[in-house]
Amino acid sequence: MIKIFHSSRDEVIRSSFSAAYADYKYALGNLLPLLNRFEQQRKIQGRKFYARLRKDILSGCIMPPITLAFVDKKMSSSTDADDLQKFANENISDGYVLDGMQRLNTLREASEDEDFDSSRPIYINIIVAERYDFLLYRMITLNNGQKPMTARHQIEMLTKGILDTEKLDIQIITEKETEKAKPHGAFRQGDVSEAYTAFLTDSVHNQNTKIIESKLDEILVGKVMDSKITESDISFHDVLLAVDHLSANQEARDWLRLGNNLIGFAVGAKESLASLTKYDPEKFASATAVFEKAFESINVSKVNVGKLRRELAMKFVAHIDDYIDTDADSLTEVFFEETMTD
């Protein structure tokens, strides 16, 4: 079992932090399986890459701690080592390995050697966060610079975690699932992931084919670190609940299903979440119809349509109280001013 010998509080991500240990046998039986919780995983490096660590494990080295994380609002505020130890052991199958994937796989390879000692200790840092957004922040600070997992890939992984654990009426499907059928009214998981990226970075512009992927990832990490996500009381799950609420109306759902609209919504909702959950779906649908009518007045040959739609959707959602009852002519004037300053 996991044994915790010290617990404290990480004030930056408002989470409990514990230093613990177990043995290799426990790690192989309980931590290694956690690497398969996501459909998309970081590619495992070749044996040659970690050959030195494998030899060191067999020689009796102490590996750097594995970082294990959980999401639980109640336990995130606890610093009681006994309570946290009980929680970690009882909920180990719900954990996430934020740091140490390669080490665990190397440990698995080393365990196949006849000289392997399964009783050796493995140290574990345990984080219990109140929501996934904070895990993502810590995940990026732990893994930034390591290859081949990018910050965008990490976000995709945690998006999958959110969708697996939260109950939503809207249907969210993967690209693979659309190969055989295209369920009417479903959201694409890739669009939800992009919306999550926008939410975390507080920016609707996170893709640029003119910049190489490594540099773009570096920029993305910088945006996340500067976005003050750990100071916000609004989580991405709150945004998804608002999407879920408004999607009760088919027209509103269809508007939100458009990737660029959803990205703009995810950022704008930070400013107007209370209002978005207050308005009934039909009223919001009527407002989006006005949005589309005003958007038709834009000369698409003169602008980057996707970029502008994200920007205008963000402004529209952020100031929904101002635009919920507006007419197309008035909203067109707003769009005109936005394009003049673009």
Q: Across-strand partners of 92?
A: none
* DSSP per residue, 299-316: -GGGS-HHHHHHHHHHHH
Q: Any idea which residue has 């995130």 for tokens?
A: 76
Q: How far is CA 161 from CA 83, 184, 230, 240, in A?
A: 24, 24, 19, 13
pLDDT for the residue 289: 97
pLDDT along the chain (342 residues), means of 10: 95 93 97 72 51 88 92 94 97 90 91 95 95 78 52 59 66 70 78 88 73 54 65 86 95 96 96 95 97 91 88 96 94 86 54
pLDDT computed for residue 86 by the predictor: 97
Please name which of 102, 85, 92, 99 lies closest in space to residue 70, comparing C-alpha atoms. 92
Contact (Cβ atoms closer than 8 angstroms) between residue 284 and residue 276: yes
Distance CA(37)–CA(22), nearest Å, equals 21
From first CA to last CA, the distance across the chain in angstroms is: 58
Element (H, E) at 226: helix 213-226
Give the per-residue pLDDT at 42: 46
Residue with tokens 């007045």: 297
**pLDDT for position 41:** 41
Residue with tokens 């101002």: 322
**Whole-model pTM over 0.75:** no
3-class secondary-structure state, position 17: strand
